[in-house]
């Protein structure tokens, strides 16, 4: 998937399955999430396509520690970018491994018959997701922080998919990066609009649903909601939350 400008100063990168983003501010960039490891192979070419360079990226702000959101972070860190994550996900960023709770190994295996699960798994493996990066010495942030990075991202703690999952608000751009607090990928949602991630991917799906109130609360500050998986949503944060509350993204 070619990089595209989604809103003024906000660019989407990645693939048909996994998205990550850049926020431009005064000629410098923050990456929001970092996709899968193999995306690094085309990083310079992708950035050049929208007139940007790796050296422009000053920070990588991760919504959470899952391996399909951290893949390019080591390359960006090695080029000089800071890496930031919520304190509750720092341990799993340092040492990735299987989740617990709803996403425990038995539940994951029990759902591998689903065509959408198999397609996502194949895509993840093809792009290096079987060996997520171990990232040491990330800076940590907390709920409510306004991060001193390009775009001045505000942290909304939205646990449930992981313990430290956060949405990030680029207030000046009126864009909310939902990470995996919500998904808008037709492969999983069947065209029903934003949903919470499937139960077998979350540590606590009920908590993930409860956390959506933090997203609804910033509705007046948001024109576009962006996801780790799926197309941009331009009908408001509260409407995205309403869609998710209407039903889980499982059959």
Q: Quick: pLDDT tens for 89-134.
A: 999 999 998 888 877 777 777 777 677 777 777 778 888 888 888 9
**For residue 76, pLDDT beyond 70:** yes
Q: What is the pLDDT of residue 173?
A: 97
Q: What is the pLDDT of residue 96?
A: 93
What value does the mean pLDDT take over residues 42-68?
Answer: 93
Look up residue 157 and give its two tokens.
């703690």
Distances (CA, A) of 58 to 50, 126, 135, 146, 159: 17, 28, 17, 16, 26
| Longest CA–CA separation in the chain, Å | 48
Instruction: Give the chain's domains with CATH numbers.
Output: 4-245 (3.60.15.10)
pLDDT tens for 146-182 read 999 999 999 999 999 999 999 999 999 999 999 999 9
Q: Residue 85: how many CA atoms within 13 Å on its side-chain side?
A: 27
d(CA 211, CA 91): 21
pTM of model > 0.75? yes
Estimate the crossing angle of helix 237-245 against helix 205-216, to 10 degrees.
Answer: 160
3-state helix, strand, coil in the chain (%, to 5): 35, 20, 45
Question: For residue 97, which of 53, 10, 162 has the smallest C-alpha distance?
Answer: 162
What value does the mean pLDDT take over residues 140-146?
Answer: 98
10 Å CB burial of residue 239 (0-12, 13-18, 19+) is: middle
Buried b (16+ CB within 10 A) or exposed e, 173-201: bbbbbbbbbbbbbebbbeeebbbbbbbbb
d(CA 43, CA 76): 10
Q: Give the three-state DSSP class for 94.
A: helix
d(CA 43, CA 80): 15
What value does the mean pLDDT take over residues 22-31?
Answer: 95
d(CA 43, CA 53): 9
**For residue 68, pLDDT beyond 60:** yes
The number of residues in the chain equals: 251
Confidence of residue 14 (pLDDT cuts 50, 70, 90): very high
């Amino acid at each position: 998937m070619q990089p595209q400008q989604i809103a003024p100063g906000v660019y989407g990168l990645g693939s048909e399955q996994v998205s990550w983003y850049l926020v431009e501010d005064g000629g410098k960039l923050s990456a929001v999430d970092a996709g899968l490891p193999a995306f690094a192979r085309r990083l310079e070419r992708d950035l050049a396509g929208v007139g940007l360079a790796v050296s422009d990226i000053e920070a990588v702000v991760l919504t959470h520690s899952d391996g399909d959101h951290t893949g390019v972070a080591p390359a960006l860190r090695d080029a000089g970018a800071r890496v930031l994550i919520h304190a509750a996900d720092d341990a799993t960023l340092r040492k990735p491994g299987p989740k617990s709770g709803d996403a425990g190994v038995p539940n994951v295996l029990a759902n591998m018959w689903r065509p959408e699960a198999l397609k996502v798994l194949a895509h993840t493996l093809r792009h290096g997701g079987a060996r997520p990066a171990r990232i040491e010495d990330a800076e940590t942030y907390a709920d409510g922080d306004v991060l001193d990075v390009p775009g001045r991202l505000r942290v909304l703690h939205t646990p449930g998919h992981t313990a430290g999952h956060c949405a990030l608000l680029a207030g000046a751009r009126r864009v909310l990066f939902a990470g995996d607090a919500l998904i808008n990928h037709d492969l999983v949602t069947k065209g029903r609009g934003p949903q919470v991630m499937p139960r077998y991917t979350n540590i606590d799906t009920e908590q993930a649903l409860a956390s959506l109130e933090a997203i609804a609360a910033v509705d007046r500050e948001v024109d576009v909601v962006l996801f780790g998986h799926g197309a941009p949503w331009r009908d408001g944060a509260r409407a995205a939350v309403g869609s998710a509350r209407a039903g889980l993204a499982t059959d």
